[in-house]
Amino acid sequence: MSIDDLYDFQQELAHGRYASIYRGKRKRISGNGYARHQYQHHCALKVIDKNEFWGRVYNGRERVDTLVREVAVQATLTSGDFQPFFVHIYGIFETAENFVLELEMLEGIDLFRHVSSRTVLEENEAALIMRDILISLATTRRLGIAHRDVKLANILMCNNCANDISDVSVKLADYGMATFVGVDGLVRGRCGTPGYVAPEIFAAGTNCGYGNKVDLFSAGVIMYVLLCGYEPFYGETDAQLIAANKAAVAEFDEFDWGNISSDARDLVSRLLEINPDERIDAIEALRHPWIVQRAPPSKWMKQNSVRNTSKDDSCVIS
């Protein structure tokens, strides 16, 4: 069978180092094993060029287990009770030339484009988005998973939330850099997007590890951008950007932050804490006054006994 036997490809949505993502439809398979021109469902198709991928592995630019980890992590996250906050994976299909991931198709745009069209967000809208990001990161930490590439472009908006802001607003996507925490509680490997990378990843030596609290730092960068419209770390060259990212000194210019609440600045500062031992974790962040006062619990949170209240000493996710 070929890819075209199972899927009908529509427009290309994105193109990366060794993969392209398309809007598509899954064809219905008849009893004799042939695909009929009747469609089972719409989907997003991530098509990986195996020659490109293995070329990068051969040149030391990609890990040999990348694809296995990506599928395993995404399947783990979308098979349990917390699946509303992660892009679903429906199946995989492999040919001699390609490896295909059949994914949930969301109609909303990614958070980068959303912010670009608005410049900055009102605090209440930003809090709703951060609430769902924090719930997703509380789940990954509980399951022993590190995403390691949390950034605006990897947060997808759910346009079905337009009619009900108490519903799930965003989903975490793109698990190409995700991995499971080792038996020692650490993750290894330097990866991520400069400007969003937790300082402990830069500091980790060849055989040294770090905890999966790294994603909370990246969430702090996202929150900073949502509220002021630009990233906290910058430089005229890649080296300067990385140096600023490693130093993790975020400034709150009065011109841009003067009308933003002190609670918002406090939560951003605690997420961008350079010391991971002192950095706020996802559960604590969900209890922070800025989240509690501005982001009402979603329907799904109520149904699954997920509480974001600073008055309740029990676990936020139960």
Assess whether 10 and 61 both reside in one domain: yes
Say if 314 falls within a structural domain: no
Known catalytic residue at 149? yes
Distance CA 68, CA 176 (A): 10
Say if 80 falls within a structural domain: yes
Assess whether 128 and 259 both reside in one domain: yes
The number of angstroms, rounded, from the C-alpha of 34 to the middle of its chain's C-alpha atoms is 36
Say if 313 falls within a structural domain: no
Q: Averaged over 274-292, what is the pLDDT? A: 95
pLDDT tens by residue, 120-178? 899 999 999 999 999 999 999 989 999 999 999 999 988 654 334 446 689 999 999 99
- Give pLDDT, residue 317: 43
> Residue 66: is its pLDDT beyond 60?
yes
**Cβ(196)–Cβ(208) under 8 Å?**
no
Q: Averaged over 250-255, what is the pLDDT? A: 95
| Confidence grade of residue 180 (pLDDT, cut at 50, 70, 90) | very high
Lowest mean pLDDT of 12-16, 65-69, 150-154, 219-223, name the range.
12-16
Percent of the chain with pLDDT over 70: 85
Assess whether 163 and 293 both reside in one domain: yes
Say if 270 falls within a structural domain: yes
Paired tokens of 311 = 């008055």
Distance CA 10, CA 217 (A): 36
E-strand ranges in the chain read 7-15, 19-29, 35-49, 89-94, 98-103, 145-146, 155-157, 170-172, 179-180
Assess whether 67 and 149 both reside in one domain: no
Distance CA 256, CA 183 (A): 44
**HSE-up (13 A, CA, CB side) for residue 71:** 14
pLDDT tens by residue, 199-228? 999 988 767 899 889 999 999 999 999 999
- Give pLDDT, residue 164: 41
3-class DSSP state for residue 171?
Answer: strand
Assess whether 129 and 209 both reside in one domain: yes
Assess whether 55 and 122 both reside in one domain: no
Distance CA 118, CA 153 (A): 15
**Cβ(75)–Cβ(69) under 8 Å?**
no
Say if 309 falls within a structural domain: no
Name the domain boundary from 68, 103, 138.
103
- Give pLDDT, residue 73: 94
> What is the domain range of residue 78?
3-103
Q: How far is CA 309 from CA 52, 189, 255, 297, 302, in A?
A: 48, 35, 32, 9, 12
Render 230-261 in DSSP notation, one character per residue.
S-S---SSHHHHHHHHHHT-----HHHHTTS-
Q: Averaged over 294-303, what is the pLDDT? A: 73
Lowest mean pLDDT of 1-5, 68-72, 210-214, 232-236, name the range.
1-5
Q: Domain of 51: which CATH number?
A: 3.30.200.20
Q: Which of 110, 132, 149, 215 is catalytic?
A: 149
Q: What total number of domains does the chain contain?
A: 2
> Residue 6: is its pLDDT beyond 70?
yes
> Residue 82: is its pLDDT beyond 70?
no
